[in-house]
Amino acid sequence: MKLQVALDVATLEDALTLARQTADYVDILELGTPLIKAEGLDAIKAIKAAHPDKLVFADMKTADAGELEADLAFAAGADLVTVMGAADDDTVRGAVAAGRKHGKDVVADMITVVADRVARIREVSKMGVSFVEIHAGLDEQAKPGYTIQTLLDDGRQAGVPFSIAGGIKAESIAAVQDSGATVAVAGGAIYSAKDPAAAAKNLKSLIR
């Protein structure tokens, strides 16, 4: 299982610092959606230039104009780009077309798919996305009683390649791996830690 750090900070300067602190321990550097909105697509270029050996994931969370938005992110240097799994089928297909043009990967973010997520995961997988991200966003995580378990159950059931994002911590990363995930995405557990490098190193060490 690969480890992906979500650079969920609001400035490129902070993102470059966090990337430098964690790059030795992660496989994928993710530019979080707020970072892309704050700094623009040039931030993708800057992270890729600083870490050409890492996969760069642009969390565009595209909801419309799939081909155009994915094309822009790939042209800026992204290796992986997200499209919303809840978007129109043509938006997903458009992003996949851009991915094929650039020889890169499109990931369907399954955040906000509340009714029969497993069925929608199977549908978008047939549209050509490389994998799905089974995801509980920060607002969902803040609700009382939130648990990552439903994400893991959906992953197990879906029978297609998936990543998990939703507040993964040192205590839960083994269960994420046991669910069959190919990528574990960690944001807050790393960027909110006193020592982000040590937090990333610890998460990596817990992957068997």
Ligand X SMILES: O=C(CO)[C@H](O)[C@H](O)COP(=O)(O)O
Q: Is 8 an interacting residue with respect to ligand X (CB under 6 A)?
A: yes
Residues 6+ apart with CB under 8 A from 99: 70, 74, 81, 105, 106, 128, 130
How many CA atoms lie less than 13 Å away from 63 in the CB half-sphere?
A: 4
Using CB under 6 A, pick the residue from 80, 124, 173, 186 that binds ligand X.
Answer: 186
Q: Is 85 an interacting residue with respect to ligand X (CB under 6 A)?
A: no
Using CB under 6 A, pick the residue from 166, 173, 176, 200 that binds ligand X.
Answer: 166
95 - beta bridge partners?
A: none
Q: And the tokens for 173?
A: 């990363």
DSSP for 127-161?
TT-SEEEEE--HHHHTSTT--THHHHHHHHHH-S-
Q: Is 81 an interacting residue with respect to ligand X (CB under 6 A)?
A: no
What's the min distance (Å) between Cβ of 59 and ligand X? 5
CB atoms within 10 A of CB 140: 15
Using CB under 6 A, pick the residue from 32, 66, 94, 196 that binds ligand X.
Answer: 32
Which of these segments, 12-20, 67-75, 99-107, 133-141, binds ligand X (CB under 6 A)?
Answer: 133-141
Q: Is 9 an interacting residue with respect to ligand X (CB under 6 A)?
A: no
Amino acid at 150: T
Q: Is 1 an interacting residue with respect to ligand X (CB under 6 A)?
A: no
What's the min distance (Å) between Cβ of 193 and ligand X? 11
Asked if residues 63 and 87 have their Cβ atoms less than 8 Å apart, the reply is yes
What SS3 class is residue 69?
helix
Q: Is 6 an interacting residue with respect to ligand X (CB under 6 A)?
A: yes
- CA 17 → CA 154, 187, 193, distances in Å? 34, 14, 14
Using CB under 6 A, pick the residue from 58, 113, 165, 203 that binds ligand X.
Answer: 165
Q: Is 66 an interacting residue with respect to ligand X (CB under 6 A)?
A: no
Q: Is 187 an interacting residue with respect to ligand X (CB under 6 A)?
A: yes
How far is Cα of residue 169 from the mean position of the Cα atoms in its chain? Answer: 15
What's the min distance (Å) between Cβ of 136 and ligand X? 7
Q: Which residue is nearest to ligand X (CB)?
A: 187
Q: And the tokens for 86?
A: 């809840």
What's the min distance (Å) between Cβ of 141 and ligand X? 6
Which stretches of the chain bind ligand X, using CB under 6 A? Answer: 6, 8, 32, 59, 135, 137-138, 165-168, 185-189
